[in-house]
Amino acid sequence: MDGLVLIDKPKSWTSFDVVAKVRNVLKKHTGQKIKVGHTGTLDPLATGLLVLTIGNYCKRAQEYTKLDKTYEVTMKLGEMSTTGDDEGEKSTISTHQPSEQNVRHTIEQFIGDIEQIPPAFSAIKVNGKRAYELARQGKPVELESRWIKIHSITDVSYEYPFVRYTTNVSSGTYIRTLVEDIGHVLRTGAYMTNLRRTTVGDFRIEDAATIETIIQTDSIESYVTQA
């Protein structure tokens, strides 16, 4: 069996958890051990579209990893988190409440080609180890900046301390870092409280199956597609 399976990843699941579950379901239905991979990690606290590769499609994973992605983002002003998201330790930075005009103007500055330093709590390898492993050990993590592209930021809504928006970005973009950078320019600090991925290239969350559906299906083959 070769192809792709689109999954709506639930909160608290790791991308590997999803891969392992789908692999087990495939083995149950086919009696064979079929290779399963994913094409772009979603943090455990994030939800949304995860594109899995099945069988020979695992060799093509890089094709799908490099696709643009769309996210629905919620960020909280006034505080920062050690991990850049709701999982880390929080610290108050400012009680200043920027105006809606200031928030919108600041966000607009990030549309286009921008330089971004990935977060320490990321899966990037540093001297053979994952950055997040070093960060959790309290060791210094120095990552080089990279150029990424923010294609658009739309549907902005603001009710202090929360800012919500939808953004379409290039592969390699870290939304946690985008949130922190916006908070830095606003001089309030910020961290990401919610993240949902809705598209990967032309793949859409509306076409994804839930884990519950995959587990309960009598025909997992119907969820495998070729592209």
Q: Report the catalytic residues.
A: 43
> Among 225, 222, 183, 201, which residue's Cα sits nearest to residue 25?
222
Q: How far apart are CA 151 and CA 168, in angstroms?
A: 5
* The pair of three-digit structure tokens given for residue 146, joined into one six-digit string: 């990279």
Identify the burial level of 48 via C-beta atoms within 10 angstroms of its C-beta, where 0-12 means exposed, 13-18 middle and 19 or more buried.
Answer: buried
The count of other CB atoms within 10 Å of the CB of residue 10 is 14
